[in-house]
Amino acid sequence: MLSKVFCMGLNTYGLVIGWLGVVCSILEVIPLFVVVGLLVGDDKSVDDEKRSNLVIVLSIGLPVVVINLLISGMLIMGTVKKRHLLLLPWLIWSGVCLALISLADFCYWVLLLSSPSLAALPILLFSVAFFVLQWYLYNGIYSLYREIQAKRPESVVFARHTEAPPE
């Protein structure tokens, strides 16, 4: 488990990652609105093929941005309120993204190695460095999750109180 990430305490790191996710999600909404403007506008320069591609971009992009916005907000709330279960959606979402990135990297590696050339080496090294960075960032939030989970108060077991029957 990590105790610091990029020389930041885990709580600070959780807030930074959460706010970066919120800001990036809000900034990603702007291009999506431009796409909506192209779809809705009376511009005849957008043919049917481009219009269908824009619909696909919106169908995939908008839900992803909204999900990322909500999950980043939950990460912030979980860090501030010390609720480990609010960090869990971010961990699951990022784990799925990490797995997809790994799968895409593997496929890309197979393609590059099938026709070996020296030009592919920087791309391969960059993909390894990016994966290691993503894993480190994920491990930082997981460490925060475990720290908050370890510090939570023990659950109170409520015993049944049985009353004696009245005499």
pTM of the model: 0.79
For residue 38, the model assigns a pLDDT of 72
* 158 part of a folded domain: no
* 79 part of a folded domain: yes
Averaged pLDDT for residues 12-38: 90
List the one residue out of 87, 74, 68, 58 whose CA is nearest residue 26.
Answer: 68
**Percentage of residues of the chain with pLDDT beyond 70:** 88
* 166 part of a folded domain: no
Q: DSSP label at 4?
A: E
For residue 156, the model assigns a pLDDT of 39
Distances in whole angstroms, Cα of residue 117 to Cα of each of 111, 112, 121: 11, 8, 7
Supply the mean pLDDT for the chain.
Answer: 85
* 101 part of a folded domain: yes
**Percentage of residues of the chain with pLDDT beyond 90:** 47
* 103 part of a folded domain: yes
Q: For strand 4-5 and strand 8-9, is the pairing parallel, antiparallel, or unpaired?
A: antiparallel
How many structural domains does the chain have? 1
* 159 part of a folded domain: no
For residue 165, the model assigns a pLDDT of 59
> Does residue 10 have a pLDDT over 70?
yes
* 34 part of a folded domain: yes
* 156 part of a folded domain: no
Give the Cα separation of 84 and 144 in Å (integer): 8
The residue range of the domain holding 74 is 4-151
Residues 6+ apart with CB under 8 A from 67: 93
Confidence of residue 160 (pLDDT cuts 50, 70, 90): very low
Distances in whole angstroms, Cα of residue 72 to Cα of each of 18, 30, 92: 5, 18, 12
Give the Cα separation of 26 and 18 in Å (integer): 12
